Amino acid sequence: MKKMDPAILAAKLEERMRADFAECKVGGASLMVLQEGKCIYHNHFGLEGIAEGKPVSDNTIYRLASMTKPVTAVAAMILVERGLLKLEDYVDTYLPDFAEMEIAKLEKGQLITTGKAQTRLTILHLLTHTSGIGSGMVGMEQGKLMDDETRATLDNSVAFYARNALAFEPFTTQAYSGVASFDVFVKIAEMVTGEDYETFLKKNIFEPLGMKDTGFIPTEEQWSRIIAMHNREEEKSVAKPMKEGCVFGNYPCTHFLGGAGLFSTLPDYARFAEMLQNGGCLDGVRILSEESVKVIGTPKVPDSVMNGREKWGLAVRVVVGEHVMPKGCFGWSGAYGTHFWVDPENRITAIYLKNCAYDGGAGCRTGNNFERDIYASLAESAL
């Protein structure tokens, strides 16, 4: 294991932040890096309100978007450990409407059904972007048909997905499912637990870990601490208005999304990430077994389904090939620029939080630079 020099790390990260702010590419951000359980970098930049407001701090709340997905992976493995479901379970065992799904393709702007799927959907497919539900261009076209009533509730959305065709034969390829397949999983989770998803997460993850500012429905006080959505217009930083009552897109926060929708703070999400780094345990509180964390952070798809330097674990990307990060690192990002990973080899946990309307998601500029700066610092520390 290589040891990081905190001074080298701070110099690189802060040089990068100064440049980003000078070019109005970031409105506010919170960064933390830990190694071997010790915080070696922890800082905040900018204002909660872009042009005015309180400085960003540990109390600043961010929209996690798809950094909700790793939380759902943990929830799934809690249910597996309790014997309430298996990753190999068929979806139609719980939701019969997902039996005998059809497959469609997009041709000249029209969705055309090509036949019935030969593979029954499983929970593993839902959590590895291999289900074909709400994926790719087919999923995008189907999404145009969703209205506010459909998005309003989990039940309405899941019924909508069951009526629509898959984008491909399950587990023959992969294409990102931002919301749909994870909503189907949440519906199953609510069925086997007998409680709503937010309650389950609070009882089994957030409260045990002391994540007091993480959830789906902000209180009035928490709404006041959610950072403005940064946008860049005419090379100036501006705030982009968000739809009232929504933490993610135009989904009301009362719709507990498995793939997005959570809000959190830097200290809260750092505790979640460190729990994964520590094999499911933090400060004497065990959320998952070490074996279950390994399941999350181990590739679940063969080369025939996903070939390259990254593969899907359980709702996380896992580094498997030549990369700025070592093999075995796992984590994920969010559409608004949030980014984190766990590096088991070097015992590094890294979290970058921002909310941006134009530079987010996997491979976003700030996320890539964060990775580069940390591992360049690690290399220089070894000289």
| 237 SS3 class | strand
270, 349 in Cβ contact below 8 A?
yes
Quick one: residue 307, left, alpha or beta (phi over 0 = left, psi -120 to 50 = alpha)? beta
Give which of 180, 140, 136 is closest to 160, Cα–Cα.
180
Instruction: Find tokens 């204002």 and name the residue.
Output: 47
56, 46 in Cβ contact below 8 A?
yes
| 109 SS3 class | coil
Angle among Cα 316, 317, 321 to the nearest 5 degrees reads: 155
What is the spatial distance between Cα 91 and Cα 180, in angstroms, rounded to a whole number? 13
C-alpha dist (Å) from residue 65 to 41, 329, 361 = 24, 21, 9
Identify the bridge partners of residue 137 per DSSP, sorted by sequence position.
none
pLDDT at 256: 98
C-alpha dist (Å) from residue 76 to 72, 88, 121, 160, 361 = 6, 12, 16, 23, 23
Domain 6-74+197-381 bears CATH identifier 3.40.710.10: yes
Alpha helix (H) residue ranges in the chain: 6-22, 69-81, 91-94, 123-127, 136-143, 148-152, 154-163, 180-193, 197-201, 207-209, 220-223, 266-277, 290-296, 365-381
Helices 69-81 & 266-277 angle (0-180, nearest 10)? 50
- A 10 A CB-CB count for 68 gives 29
pLDDT at 383: 82
Q: For residue 30, give the H/E element and its range.
A: strand 28-35
Whether the CA torsion 127, 130, 136, 139 is positive or negative: it is: negative
Residue 96 DSSP class: G
Identify the bridge partners of residue 106 per DSSP, sorted by sequence position.
111
Give which of 34, 33, 29, 38 is closest to 57, Cα–Cα.
29
pLDDT at 52: 87
- One DSSP character per residue, 301-361 reads S-TTT--SSEEE-SSSEEE-SS-SSPTT-EEEE-TTS-EEEEETTTTEEEEEEE-BSSS-S
- A 10 A CB-CB count for 208 gives 16
pLDDT at 11: 98
Residue 57 DSSP class: -
287, 280 in Cβ contact below 8 A?
yes
pLDDT at 109: 84
What letter represents residue 365's amino acid?
A: R
List, for residues 148-187, the tens digit of each pLDDT value.
999 999 999 999 999 999 999 999 999 999 999 999 999 9
C-alpha dist (Å) from residue 335 to 192, 218, 349, 351 = 30, 19, 20, 15
pLDDT at 1: 85
> From the first residue on, what is the mean pLDDT of each consecutive set of 10 residues in the chain (383 residues)?
95 98 95 98 96 94 98 98 98 97 91 95 98 96 94 98 97 97 98 98 98 98 98 93 96 98 98 98 98 98 94 98 95 98 98 97 96 97 89
- Where are the domains positioned within the chain? 6-74+197-381, 84-179
**pTM for the structure as a whole:** 0.97
What letter represents residue 373's amino acid?
A: D
